[in-house]
Structure 1
């Protein structure tokens, strides 16, 4: 671990103590995990404490762990992962928080801490169904307003539930059940019997 990351790690441990569920170094970057109950307070302190100084939220995304490790994952299914940057201290941090309820996943919004979280949280809500409590404008951002479900969830069907098409008779766009039949495409490779055999040139 570099001296800079060692300093950041010590600052995090000193400031948050037991609020850190884990602190790991991987690929030259620190990742901390906090509980949903502590999430907003920790994120606010990460911005406001001079020894941490994370002025920028550069990414926020949802994660569905239901099929992680070939389905051997035990624990909460949905997480929010945030990437923070401190320009002043020249270091980065990844923060992960799991939603407590798999049936209705939710965590606090951090739009009041970093306004850049707005569209990221809307995207995580749209694609994973993770609700951000306190968000001022939590609505779909990528899918259609009438879209059913959340397409990045591991149990969402590849073909979806409904399809949209223009109906010339009704002169409008309509929704209907999916007409695409599920299939598996396997590319056909044609090679000579002696392919790769050095003795046959």
Structure 2
């Protein structure tokens, strides 16, 4: 671990104390995992504490950990992962919070802390179905308003649930159930006697 990461890790442990669920280093970056009930308070502290000074949220995304790393995942399924930057101290931090209920994934919104989280949280809601409590305008941002489901969930069907097409009789676009039959695509192998010679 570099000297800079060691200093950051020590400061995080000192300032946050028991609010740190897990703090680990991988690939030259620190990842801080916090409980959902501490998420908003920890995010505020990360921004406001002068010894930390994470004044910018660079990215926020949703993650579906079901079937993570080709194995059975033990723990909550959905998480919101934020990437923070301290310009003053020139360091980065990954902040992860898991939604405690897989059937109704809900975490606090950090838009009051970092306004840049607005569209990122809308995207995580749209694609993963993660709800952000306190978000002022949580609605779909990438899929159509009539879209059913959340397409980045690992259990979402590859062909989708509905398709849309233009109906010349009704003179409008209509939704209908998917008409594509699921099939396994196996590449055709062509072998010729003189191939490659």
Q: Same fold (TM over 0.5)?
A: yes
Distance 1:192 1:5 in 2: 58
Q: Which residue of 1 aligns with 2:168?
A: 168
Partner of 2:123: helix, strand, or coil? helix
Shift of 1:118: 0.2
Partner of 1:69: helix, strand, or coil? helix
Shift of 1:192: 4.6
Distance 1:121 1:100 in 2: 17
Q: Which residue of 2 aligns with 1:33?
A: 33
Partner of 2:174: helix, strand, or coil? strand
Partner of 1:80: helix, strand, or coil? strand
Partner of 2:42: helix, strand, or coil? helix
How do 1:1-80 and structure 2 match up within 5 A?
1-80=1-80
Partner of 1:42: helix, strand, or coil? helix
Q: Which residue of 2 aligns with 1:190?
A: 190
| RMSD over equivalenced CA pairs, Å | 1.4
Distance 1:193 1:97 in 2: 58
Q: Which residue of 2 aligns with 1:152?
A: 152
Tell me: CA distance 1:31–1:193, structure 2 relative to 1, closer, same or farther (3 Å): farther
Distance 2:74 2:2 in 1: 32
Q: Give unmatched runs, 5+ long, in structure 2.
A: none
